[in-house]
Amino acid sequence: MINTVKIIFIAFSLIFVSSIGHADSSVESLSPELRALLGKEMRALEEGMQSIITAYVSGNLEKVSNIAEKMKNSFILKQEITNEQKHELVNKISKSFLRLDKKFHEYAGMLQHVAKERHIELVGFYYYKLTEACVVCHSNFASHRFPKLKFDATKEGHNH
């Protein structure tokens, strides 16, 4: 169990290598109402990610599976988004954002499955994949909120 947690933390340090990209401001072009809804969704996902790690290191894989299922099915967006907001989201947001979002929810589904099947080593792997998706998305689409994830191309040397 300790080795799995160590692997997760080592993997976090490697995430930044794969997160290098150019920031996209399409999220900033959304209406204030839709941005507020996305913010609410992100806060719920953050809470879910924190709850998963606590449940995981405690061996409560049933709880991990339940949280991952909620994340897969989306906490807020599917429940509260209007048809007009769906249309705005599809028309204003970049396709790469939508692909990352889709991958995130696929990983949440895989996490749900492996936790339910009690594959503890794979729980750590899919938690890492979820975290990686968060970092890549934040560095590409929310660098205004997470400036420390912004890649500085003028820096010399290694970035890991």
State residue 107's pLDDT score: 97
Tens-digit pLDDT profile for residues 27-65: 778 889 988 888 888 999 999 999 999 999 999 999 999
Residues with Cβ within 8 Å of 32's Cβ and at least 6 positions away in sequence, in order, are none
pLDDT at position 74 over 50: yes
CATH at residue 130: 1.20.120
Q: Read off the tokens for 160.
A: 């890991």
83: part of which helix (H) or strand (E)?
A: helix 83-92
State residue 22's pLDDT score: 45
48: part of which helix (H) or strand (E)?
A: helix 32-57
Question: For residue 111, which of 95, 127, 96, 100 has the smallest C-alpha distance?
Answer: 127
pTM summary value = 0.75
Residue 56 lies inside a defined structural domain of this protein: yes
The count of structural domains within the chain is 1
Whole domain around residue 71: which residue ranges?
Answer: 2-21+31-149
Q: Read off the tokens for 62.
A: 């049933």
Tens-digit pLDDT profile for residues 111-149: 999 999 999 999 999 999 999 999 998 888 888 888 888
